[in-house]
Structure 1
């Protein structure tokens, strides 16, 4: 009886967990600009310690999966996934450090499904239909509207969340490739174990670049290099909180996808856009530009259509088999 009841309530639990993930990610996206842009802590250092702390809090999840799941025939692809995922986080945090508003960062980061579609078509041989192509074009039109290209508000920093989405979209394409003969637990465990060392690696690369390149050619905000030391100011408590919330977000996502289907969860995942926009408005006084609203509708609508189309195609293949 309890098993039937658990199955019956699985969609509700999945929705609750996904909304919880959205809230925790929204808190992350509020804390990051406060620590970086307002307090002046280098974004590379913030992200490194954020994930060190998050990994400590995620140890129960890592141990529950078990290190035996690290056996794989594709260790290099797992490392590539972790590196690109970490690089995407670094781009995202750097955008906050340069003052890109939360509403713009989150909306543009939701262009990821379009990069997934392009990557799956080019590298995995998936068929590009007119519907998918139309959705991709619509989504990128929405991204142009949100980024405010052609206006005084547009800066090169506005492209950082798009670069993050490109990294994360590539991660998803590699994950699709690996999921053909890798267990979901292995994919999760590799990411949890490898992402923090890759943040360290990226920090070393950036530190080396700062040391050898003329400061005139470095992006604003990177001139200070990478600092491994934890700040001793009020930022320390916020970084610890940031790491704790990051671990919480991973737990929420893990539980959500364990109890409910991805297609069902997608609308609840899309709630992250209004959640982040509202919190940014209230906490940081960041009022969205007028073009944000129609652009956001295009991005969310097009990405949702792509996911629905992919899931529908997968279901048709299963029925045919």
Structure 2
């Protein structure tokens, strides 16, 4: 019996890791498509983001139907809206960074600093106590981010901070999610995100100077559709992964998104990352894995 249970756990772990790697590959292709649309084809980042997430919303209708609108019952409507606004702004800053020529490899590596913002925010706003080990890992992670940014380099541009802002906003969104899930179900949190993200992106697009620009030409449309569908598929793959095994086990597989994005950046744009990326990324990944290890020991 114990052998059967061990075999089932091992099988679930392999399936969960496979879904996580698949999600990382889908996100990497999505990032390349969005960067090509905005940086090369000139589609505004706000417009590209709106169309991408509208298509993702349409693709996620079966998920919304399965959750059911009973999931909208909440006593924390304001916090739900605030959390989705933070997530939407994070998406906007992320795509703006890609549109302004921040290489995918640099953007995704800087985005991986998001857990360190969560550590700071949880201590400052949720009253969570972080150990000295976790604070040390957070400092090491930010040092890795600074090495990747290299603000002392002559080629440094301020747009390189856009993925950092995205990481800060997404980290803040995660803090709101943790607070929401004290009273609301994860399904409720997911439903509000799916339903509110597109209208908020629409409002941001309409407020932008470029307005709600339409993709011109079939080449741009099929890339937008591809980005939207793959984004939805990636989100579904993440859900499938977390359904099978715990987040701590999946964390190392999540970090494979870095080499996957490096590969896409090379294939699509011919970008070859410098050595400081790998040094900085090693510090970020090592620090985040250490935080997972510390959390696992404390539970």
Q: What TM-score does the superposition give when structure 2 sets the normalisation length?
A: 0.95
Deviation at 1:233, TM superposition (A): 4.7
What stretches of structure 1 of length at least 5 have no aligned partner? Answer: 211-224, 316-321
In structure 1, what is the Cα distance between the partners aligned to 2:211 and 2:117?
A: 30
Distance 2:31 2:217 in 1: 22
1:236-270 residue CA offsets vs partner (Å, 9 max, x unmatched) = 11111111111111110111111111001101101
Q: How does 1:14-93 map to 2 (within 5 A)?
A: 14-93=16-95
The answer to whether residue 224 in structure 2 is matched with residue 239 in structure 1 is yes
Shift of 1:7: 5.4
2:292 corresponds to = 307
Matched, 1:268 2:275: no
Report which stretch shifted further, 136-145 or 281-290. 281-290
* 1:294 equivalent in structure 2: 279
- How far apart, CA to CA, are the structure 2 residues paired with 1:107 and 1:203? 27
| Counterpart contact for 1:121–1:127, Cα < 8 Å | yes
Shift of residue 228 of structure 1? 4.1
Cα distance per residue 1:284-316 (max 9 Å; x no partner): 111102211110100111122223323433x1x
Is this contact kept in 1: 2:30–2:226, CA < 8 A?
Answer: no
Structure 1 residue 117, shift from structure 2 partner: 0.2
The CA distance in 1 between the partners of 2:71 and 2:26, in whole Å, is 27
Distance 1:6 1:189, change over 3 A: farther
Q: Do 2:43 and 2:213's aligned partners in 1 also have CA atoms closer than 8 Å?
A: no
Structure 1 pair 6/64, CA: closer, same or farther in 2 (3 Å)? farther
Q: Is 1:188 aligned with 2:190? A: yes
1:123 corresponds to: 125
CA distance in 1, matches of 2:118, 2:283: 17
CA change 1:201–1:310 in 2 (3 A) is farther
Give the distance between the partners of 1:251 and 1:69, measured in 2 at CA.
18
Task: Give deviations 1:192-240, integer Å, cap 9, x for gaps.
Answer: 11111111122233x2xx4xxxxxxxxxxxxxx2224343352111111
How far residue 144 of structure 1 moved from its aligned partner, in angstroms, is: 0.7
What is the number of equivalent residue pairs in this alignment?
Answer: 296
For 2:11 and 2:239, the matched residues in 1 are separated by 17
Partner Cα separation in structure 1 for residue 58 and residue 297 of structure 2: 39
Offset from partner CA, 1:54-107 (integer Å, 9 cap, x none): 110111111111111111111111111111111111101111111110110000
Q: Which residue of 2 aligns with 1:259?
A: 244
- Contact between 1:19 and 1:269, CA under 8 Å: does it hold in 2? yes
Q: 5+ unaligned residues in a row in structure 2: which ranges?
A: none
Distance in structure 1 (CA, Å) of the matches to 2:239 and 2:136: 32
| 3-state SS of 1:32 partner | helix
Equivalent in the alignment of 1:319? none
The aligned counterpart of 1:226 is 211
| Match 1:278 to one of 238, 260, 263 | 263
SS in 2 for 1:167: helix
Structure 1 range deviating more: 159-168 or 9-18: 9-18
1:250 equivalent in structure 2: 235
Paired with 1:311 and 1:121, the residues of 2 have a C-alpha distance of 18
Q: The residue matched to 2:223 in structure 1 has which SS?
A: helix
Q: Alignment RMSD, CA only?
A: 1.7
Partners of 1:92 and 1:153 in 2: CA distance: 20
Distance 2:23 2:218 in 1: 28
